[in-house]
Amino acid sequence: MRLEFYIICNIVQGDKMKFIVMLLCAGLCASASAAKQAKNIIMVVGDGMGPSYTTAYRYFADDKTTPEVENTVFDRLLVGMASTNPHQVTGYVTDSAAGATALATGVKTYNEAIGVDHTKLPVQNVIEWAKMQGMKTGVAVTSQINHATPAAFTTHNESRHNYNDIADNYYDQKIGGQFTLDVMLGGGWDFFIREDRNLVEEFKQAGYQYIDSPEQLDSTDKTKALLGLFAKVGLPTALDTKNKQRLPALTKTAIKHLENEQGFFLLVEASQVDWAGHGNDIAAAMAEMHDLALTLEWLESYLQKHPDTLLVVTADHSTGGMSIGADDNYSWSPQWLTQLKLSPQSIAKQLVLSKDKGELASELLGFELNIEEVNRLESMDTGQANDFYIVLKTLLDKRSNTGWTTRGHTGIDVPVFAKGPGSEMFRGFQDNTQIAERIFSLLGKK
């Protein structure tokens, strides 16, 4: 903006220059005013969600009865792109811990670091700052709540793998005598209910309401702080969730508990987009993207009713090197991914014990297998569940013509989406650390 102002002032003279100056000043004032109006901030991270995922989801969700390819919520909210590289001590390809630390603190660090810089010193995150400003804070994720992304937004540890220590910090770490988080929703029984410590009981004694079933989400007391753990580690996949909408339900409940006069900061993570990418599982990936899309569509409607709320959405990195098209046929066929009754991993477990593997696979995949596919499954009488899982993924890749380049992460830029007061600050290209810096700015940090 300053460079544009300088150029215009040197080119335009007289009344025209005065008019343009007035326009620029009005724009700057409008941006500042919008930023001040952001009472609430909702940050959503699609873990592993590179640009191929949002593009593939557009085709996956396309209405085949119309000639055009319809835009999705991702298209409506897109405002820019962000680089993802970690600190130079690691290189150019980030893991979730370093990526989330950059998004949460504005500081680049080494892979596996949780809320610490490359020298392992703690750095302040946006949730801690929001709590210091009197806001309510929360996380709603489909992984365990002490996984890399929610941990980096909440606490500090030299390694993401210190799960018990990170869980302990959720209780032990205080901000001005208060717990950092008012709402925690996700998985994690194995880390919060242990032989050496029962953090659930400690939180209950401290006044938190505790729930351990998704069916309880609609009946919680919104006047109380809330801890909800619904699985030993991560939640069941989107395809294995009965109502197929687990992240929207978590998000709605979190916001119900966080709404207050001082405002709130909520981190939402579609954690298992990344897990599907690591597994090179295109069916699971599209289901996770759909779960996220439903969440964002609900948040769009929430913003319409609450214009003082800013929504910022991005990814920490891209996973799997997914390609929309795998050979020179120039095609991608997502229709084979739309009728699965369970995740490929769960189908594989059932196939191990099935006598008629071809018939069961056809039923659960939602389409008839050809002779070659049936014979491949029937020949695996002594196969293990993971063997069947690999066969099913290969089958779906071949049917859809999906390609993968890695089971790890890639270093490509990721999309940035935003809506609400202050959303213009996230337009264009930016480094991932700048996203945190701008959120700190919106929260009043100089």
CA atoms within 13 Å, Cβ hemisphere of 373: 20
C-alpha to C-alpha distance for 285 and 277, rounded to whole angstroms? 7
Judge contact between 45 and 269, C-beta under 8 A: yes
Residue with tokens 């779960």: 291
**Sign of the torsion formed by the C-alpha atoms of 288, 343, 245 and 213:** negative
Residue 423 annotated in active site? no
Closest CA relative to residue 43, chosen from 210, 283, 240, 258: 258
CA atoms within 13 Å, Cβ hemisphere of 287: 27
Q: Is 187 helix (H, G, I), strand (E, B) or coil?
A: strand
C-alpha to C-alpha distance for 255 and 391, rounded to whole angstroms? 41
C-alpha to C-alpha distance for 362 and 197, rounded to whole angstroms? 46
Q: Is 136 helix (H, G, I), strand (E, B) or coil?
A: strand
C-alpha to C-alpha distance for 91 and 111, rounded to whole angstroms? 9
C-alpha to C-alpha distance for 80 and 35, rounded to whole angstroms? 18
One-letter amino acid of 282: I
Concatenated DSSP letters for 74-107? Answer: HHHHEEEEEE----TTT-S---HHHHHHHHHHS-
C-alpha to C-alpha distance for 226 and 264, rounded to whole angstroms? 14
Closest CA relative to residue 244, chosen from 141, 314, 343: 343
CA atoms within 13 Å, Cβ hemisphere of 72: 21
| Catalytic hit among 52, 96, 271, 400 | 96
Q: 318-319 and 409-410: which strand pairing?
A: antiparallel
Positions annotated as catalytic residues are: 96
